Amino acid sequence: MKKAKASLAVLLSTSLLFGCAQEKEGTKPADDNAKEASASKLDDVSSEYREYAIGEIEEFVDATEEFTTAVSAGDIEKAKELYAPARMHYERAEPIAEVFGDLDPKIDAREGDVKDEEWGGYHRIEMGLWEENTTKGYEKYADQLMSDVNLLRAKVETVEVTPDLLITGAVDLLNEVSTSKVTGEEDRYSHTDLYDFVANVEGAEKIYELLNPALKEKDAKLAAEIQQRFDDVYGLLEKHKEGNGYISYTDLKESEVKELSQAIDALAEPLSQIGIVTEES
Amino acid sequence: MKEHTPKDEIGLFTKKVSRRNMLKTAGVGGIGVVIGASGFGGLLTLSEQRAKGQTKDIVPFYGERQAGITTEAQDNLYFASLEVTTDKRSDLIQLFKDWTEAAAQMTAGNLIGEASLNTNMPPKDTGEAKELSPSNLTITFGVGPTLFSKDGTDRFGLKSKRPAELKDLPKFPLDALEDEWSGGDICIQACADDLQVAFHAVRNLVRIGRGKTIIHWAQTGFQRTKQADSQKTTPRNLFGFKDGTVNPDTNDNKEMNEHVWVKAEDGPDWLVGGSYMVVRRIQMYIEVWDRTILKEQENTFGRHRDSGAPLGMKNEFDTVDLEAKDPNGNRIIPEDSHMSLSRGDGKAKILRRPYSYADGMDPKTGSFNAGLLFICFQRNPSKQFIPIQERLAKNDKLNEYIVHRGSAMFACLPGVKKGGYIGDSLFG
């Protein structure tokens, strides 16, 4: 969960970013055509991203259904197995998922993020599964989680994705990795932080891929550098794969945590320049 | 330091940020909003060029030799030892070029990078030194032995260029070195009369290097400020003793040439005009020292605490007579005192430029985590620091109160002239 940083970006209408092109129709200088073209290209990217994010949320609904069913049925082992992969869909689409400041904490709050009596969602159940090794008493949390996730699916339709959201979203995803996943604070009972880590990186990469054609036009060197750094991060994550998933956070050596953290910094720094796509060429 | 007159602003505006460029960097989106919100006045604050002719608190960056070696020690230090992560020689060269440009800007008190009006990107300069005086900032770059080869690998085609003198220091008795405080491929020593200015410098250089280098270790350091000691007496270390009384005179070129600067006859051409830097992170057992009686403290250093005078003498700079004996025939300055052993026969001198550090509490023991980041410069470590430290490590009374936790050696590159870059003699 990202604390109360409700994405203002989404609320900004596209007309703020591309306002000048639209307002000057009467006396349009020649190169305004170029601006409009570039703006509409970014708008296309935004709608493509919207599709991607909604796709992830849909899969998140399905995966949450399976997970909560297992919890309600008292199938601890299955619930444990489903927990981390289910969350990945949410983590990939986080820039959109967390827009709903009321739902995000219900789904993804960690212990201490909200008042104890309000605490539910994935991490609450995670505590039951791994700390107490039970599902007993957690059925109500499973029910509530399912209904919150369904509500998220419904609400997500209303999100307007702007280029701003994309530009900040990519780096925000990596900031999430830097501040909670790489520190092992996200999944503190299951230690499945690497799943969330990977999903955040994948979510950021998706945005990069969508903006890449525009980015290449502006700064091909920067585009190549970002790709290289994504490859570096995936290269490191590859070492920590186990079966279909990833090793426990607790099995990472201190030096490996540092290595991952620094690789994220090395990626996020050039990625933070991605706003260059909003400049006129 | 950064006041500029309206006239400067107009001049700068037309010169540095032409409207054409401004529109170009402003981008299709941001500009309308920015101009609408704040007018051109807001834009002007982005160009932070210093008014011409101002040299107060500025140590020139360009020159035959790097600053920060014979420069009078500033109040604060931020030291970073970096590991190079790229394996491309071209990346490394570009990095030194970018660093040179940024370092020249920052030491002159300017922000780095071109002002961009694109609010969809992070600012080039991190901003915390804006409005601050240049604070005599110096940025000194050095290269460690592992840059030349690591685990036998010739990483950047530099292996054959490694000077014989540039290698890990020998293990001295009582060393308790920790990897996390030792070694490094490159060092950046930033010294300034303001810690925020020093930190800003290293932070921005590390940021520029992100993806090519990572921090291996870093340390802040301090000494009494010039403000607190307007007489500029010899600084005291955290044991309360004056430290650096017999340092060679940095204003004496002959002495500097003899002890500090690498000469043509010493080794590789690329390092002529440079200097070897030895860094030791020395933890002080503060609590143990605090309960040591004064006589013992003074015998440990070989000096009187209050005056800094050699034992038996009155004033700090009185001539030292190591052979002097008391009526019972005992040496007045103990043979195992820090001063006696450091001095040896008095021929080998090093230029010491240490800073104290205080890093909170050692969580294991609850004791202060404090000590000295010992830094010294010399022409030839195997004839200067190493024999001195061998004597100290074996017999120094002070060893009861300190432990060496970190160690590194760097070859500080020669200075650079405008148009060149730090390291061009090495890579060129």
**Which of A14, A36, A165, A278 to mutate to test binding with chain B, by most B CBs within 10 Å of its CB?**
A278
Residues A143 and A176 both lie in one domain:
no
The reply to whether A249 falls in a domain is yes
The predicted-structure confidence for B145-171, as pLDDT tens digits, reads as follows: 999 999 999 999 999 999 999 999 999
Kindly provide the ipTM of the predicted complex, given to two decimals: 0.82
- Residues of A within 8 A of B90 (CB-CB) are none
Q: CB B410: neighbour CB atoms within 10 A?
A: 28
| Count of structural domains, chain A | 2
Is the pLDDT reported for residue A8 higher than 70? no
The closest of B187, B197, B243 to B406, measured between CA atoms, is: B187
Cβ separation of B210 and A39 shorter than 8 Å?
Answer: no
A43 — pLDDT class (breaks 50, 70, 90):
confident
Assign B150 to helix, strand or coil.
Answer: strand
A276 in contact with chain B, both atoms CB, cutoff 8 A: yes
A79 and A169, same domain (yes or no): no
Min Cα separation A100/chain B (Å): 23
Instruction: For residue A28, name the pLDDT band (cuts at 50, 70, 90).
Output: very low
State whether B27 and A18 contact (CB < 8 Å): no
Residue A11 lies in a domain: no
Identify residue B316 by its one-letter amino acid code.
E
Out of A17, A265, A269, the one facing B29 most closely (by C-beta) is: A17
Distance from CA of A6 to the nearest CA of B (A): 18
pLDDT at A2 over 80: no
How much is the pLDDT for B306? 96
Q: Which of B22, B28, B121, B212 to mutate to test the interface with A (most CBs of A within 10 A)?
A: B28
Verify that A181 and A122 share a domain, yes or no.
no
Whether residues A117 and A173 share a domain: the answer is no
A185 CA to chain B: closest CA distance, Å?
21
Q: Whose structure tokens read 């279909």? A: A244
- Residues A180 and A263 both lie in one domain: yes
Helix, strand, or coil here: B407? strand
The alpha carbon dihedral of B83, B89, B90, B96 has a sign of: positive
Same structural domain, A147 and A186: no
Residue A142 in contact with partner chain B when CB distance is under 8 A:
no
Q: Is A224 on the interface with B (CB under 8 A)?
A: no
Query: Both tokens of residue B371?
Result: 């000590």
Of A16, A265, A269, the CB nearest to B33: A16
Contact call for B211 and A38, based on CB within 8 A: no
Q: Are residues A91 and A108 in the same domain?
A: yes
Residue A144 in this model has a pLDDT that exceeds 90: yes
Is A270:A231 a contact under the CB 8 Å cutoff? no
Three-state DSSP class for residue A170: helix
Burial of B305 (0-12, 13-18, 19+ CB in 10 A): middle
Contacts A–B by Cβ distance under 8 A: 60
DSSP alpha helices (H): ranges in B70-151?
89-107, 145-148
Is residue A129 located within the same domain as residue A182?
no
| B361 contacts: CB under 8 Å, gap ≥ 6 | B367, B368, B369
Domain limit, last residue, from A136, A161, A186? A161
Of B235, B231, B226, B245, nearest to B74 by C-alpha is B226
What are the residues whose beta carbons fall under 8 Å from the beta carbon of B124, sequence distance 6 or more? Answer: B111, B112, B113, B114, B115, B116
A34 assigned to some structural domain:
no
Compute φ and ψ for A279, nearest 5 degrees: -85, 145
Q: Do B25 and A279 touch (CB under 8 A)?
A: yes
Decide if B410 contacts B275 (C-beta within 8 A): no
Cα of A280 to nearest chain B Cα, Å? 5
DSSP tag of B265:
G
A112 and A134 in a common domain: yes
Closest-CA residue in chain A for B204?
A: A269
Closest Cβ–Cβ partner in A39, A265, A272 for B28: A39
A145 — pLDDT class (breaks 50, 70, 90): very high
The predicted pLDDT at position A37 comes to: 67
Asked if residue A89 is part of any domain, the answer here is yes
Residues B285, B287, B288, B293: is their CA dihedral positive or negative?
A: positive
Asked whether residue A272 is assigned to any structural domain, the reply reads: yes
Tally of CB atoms within 10 A around B240: 14
Percentages helix, strand, coil for chain B (3-state, rounded to 5) are 30, 20, 50
**Nearest residue, CB atoms, A275 vs list B23, B24, B118:** B118
Q: State yes or no: pLDDT of B223 exceeds 50.
A: yes
Looking at chain A, the whole-number percentage of residues with pLDDT higher than 70 is: 86
Q: Which two tokens stand for residue B306?
A: 């209050």
Model confidence at B13, pLDDT cuts 50, 70, 90, reads: very low
Dihedral-angle region of residue A191 (phi above 0 means left; psi in -120 to 50 means alpha; beta otherwise): left
Q: Which residues of B touch A167 (CB under 8 A)?
A: 120
Give per-residue pLDDT as tens, B263-274: 999 989 999 999
Cα separations (Å) of A77 from A108, A245, B55? Answer: 21, 16, 71
Does A101 fall in a domain? yes
Residue A265 with chain B: CB contacts under 8 Å: 210
Task: Clarify whether residues A176 and A144 are in a common domain.
Answer: no
User: Is there a contact between B379 and B275 (Cβ–Cβ < 8 Å)?
Assistant: yes
Domain with A200 in it: 162-280
Q: How confident is the model at residue B345 (pLDDT cuts 50, 70, 90)?
A: confident
- Shortest Cα–Cα distance, B23 to chain A (Å): 8
Give yes or no for residue B36 having a pLDDT over 90.
Answer: no
Of all residues in chain A, the one with the smallest CA distance to B179 is: A255
The beta strands (E) that lie in B149-289 are given as 186-192, 213-222, 275-284
- Name the token pair of B339: 């001063």
A122 in the same domain as A102 = yes
The residue among B38, B57, B55, B36 whose CA lies nearest residue B46 is B38
Residue A39, pLDDT score: 72
**B43 HSE (CA, 13 A, CB side):** 26
Which of the listed residues A109, A127, A161 is the one where a domain comes to its end?
A161
Q: Is residue A98 part of a domain?
A: yes
For the full predicted model, state whether its pTM sits above 0.90: no
Probe site for chain B from A15, A18, A178, A279 (most B CB atoms < 10 A): A279
- Domain endpoint, select from A109, A139, A161: A161
Q: Do B23 and A280 touch (CB under 8 A)?
A: yes
Q: Is A178 on the interface with B (CB under 8 A)?
A: no
* Nearest residue to B317 via CA among B330, B331, B303: B303
Helix (H) or strand (E) holding A71: helix A32-72
Residue B42: pLDDT over 60:
no
CATH number where A120 lies? 1.20.1420.20
Cβ-defined contact of B120 to A278 (cutoff 8 Å): yes
Place of tokens 């004496």: B252
Q: Is the pLDDT of residue A4 over 70?
A: no
pLDDT in tens, B95-139: 999 999 999 999 999 999 887 888 999 999 999 999 999 999 999
- A94 lies in the same domain as A204: no
- CA geometry: angle B233, B238, B242, nearest 5 deg: 30
**In this complex, do B25 and A17 lie within 8 Å of one another by their Cβ atoms?**
no
Contacts of B33 in chain A (CB under 8 A): 16, 19
pLDDT at residue B228, as a whole number = 95
Q: Which residues of B touch A (CB under 8 A)?
A: 23-33, 85, 118-122, 207, 210-211, 214
In a domain, A22, yes or no: no
